[in-house]
A = this chain, B = another copy of it.
Amino acid sequence: MRKANTKRRSGCPLNASVEMLGDRWSLLVIRDMMLLGRRTFKEFLGSYERPATNVLADRLRRLAAYGIIRTERDPTDGRKLIYQLTPKGIDLAPVLTELVLWAGRHEKTENRALIRLMQKDKEKFLAQIRQRCEQPRK
């Protein structure tokens, strides 16, 4: 039983975002979909940070309940579910970008190439993500 309509703590827009995304896994799942093109439960499990299966299942359920991702069966393999970002999910790209840029400025991290790409032309980068995510995959 899910509870998408639990009352919010406040009407502040930042609080709304934090209640939907403020945990240690949700944004990483979105990153995997947005930047790495991952789409299945198995693929998300394989991320560097290695979520537990029950937590991953819960996060996917929550993100779907919030309308950030949506699910469909793989037509070529009935066992697989394919998770995709909705427009609302794709629209998180600027948030992801700013979080990456902030960490890039203030922390020692890997993947400097990605950070440089974002810095060089942020709008172009965002446009590429939108284009890549919005059209159905071949």
Contacts and interface: CB of A to CB of B under 8 A. Distances in A.
Interface residues on A, range: 35 or more
Most buried by B among A11, A12, A96, A111: A12
Interface stretch (A21-29, A37-45, A69-77, A130-138): A21-29
Contacts of A9: 48-50
Contact of A106 (B19, B48, B88, B114): B88
A46 interface: no
A27 B10 CA distance: 14
Contact of A14 (B23, B27, B50): B27
6 contacts: A11-B111, A13-B109, A14-B27, A15-B28, A18-B99, A23-B24
Closest 10 CB pairs between A and B? A11-B110, A10-B48, A13-B103, A13-B109, A17-B99, A16-B103, A9-B49, A95-B98, A94-B98, A17-B103
